[in-house]
Amino acid sequence: MMKKFKGFSDSESFTQLPDSFFHKLLHEIEDAAELKVTLYFVWRTQKMEGPSHALRAADFDPKALGLAADEIRHGLEKSVQRGTILQRRPATEGSVDGSEQEADVVYFLNSPRGRAAAEAFAKGRAGASEKSTSPPVERPNIFKLYEENIGPLTPMIADALKDAEETYSPEWIRDTIELAVKNNKRNWKYCEAILKRWKEEGRGEKQDRRDAEKDRGKYVKGEYADYVEH
């Protein structure tokens, strides 16, 4: 019996797919394993940090894909044959055993960045992780984080949060919201003031270790006091 899906939420992040996937590939891909592997690959690599977004065969989660190991290998082979995914080996190969060779193989998305990274990897100019990577954990996006810790989301606040995402790292935004909660200053102006200060003056380890009361006094009595509601 099919398990009923509860539906997507407005607080989760979404994965982008290129238009050509729908215009050129969707009607051509008939193999379920190939389709699952392709979609999983796009999702995983979009969530990765660093210059080289690549996966190895061991990075494909059988449970998440609903596929056995041999079906994943089949899906990868079909994706490589079609050209959506690029398969590369390092410039120097010291292994001859079949399993070791499979571990050496690295896969890249056939996109401008993926092609550049694949070429560099094949020529030994850039490395990919030698270990399997973990799937990205589900993390609340900035809207959900704000609503759960600060208050209701208004159109003006939503625009400010989008701007903040383009300027500051997710870790900084999360940390400033945590400070706002600890200091009982649950408003975005307070968070924004801290972010601006960190950007202008830097964020050192000593600042990270300051206790909440000292940090609160900095913003309540300092140059950002106008942004804080008393």
Q: What is the pLDDT of residues 50-105, one digit of tens each?
A: 667 899 999 999 999 999 999 999 999 999 999 999 999 876 554 444 444 666 78
Closest to 130 measured CA to CA, from 94, 103, 148: 103
Q: 142-227 architecture in CATH?
A: Orthogonal Bundle (1.10)
Higher pLDDT, 55 or 48: 55
Confirm if 85 and 41 have CB atoms less than 8 A apart: yes
Confirm if 72 and 65 have CB atoms less than 8 A apart: yes
Return the DSSP state at 126: S
Question: What residues does 86 pair with on adjacent strands?
Answer: 108
Stretch(es) of the chain classified as CATH 1.10.10: 19-122, 142-227
- For 109, the 3-state DSSP assignment is strand
pLDDT for position 112: 92
Confirm if 163 and 196 have CB atoms less than 8 A apart: no
Q: Topology of domain 19-122, per CATH?
A: Arc Repressor Mutant, subunit A (1.10.10)
pLDDT for position 129: 52
Higher pLDDT, 66 or 140: 66
pLDDT for position 224: 47
Q: What is the pTM for the complete model shown?
A: 0.58
Higher pLDDT, 195 or 49: 195
**CA distances (Å), 40 to each of 6, 44, 56, 143, in order?**
21, 6, 13, 25
Q: How far apart are CA 53 and CA 85, in angstroms?
A: 12
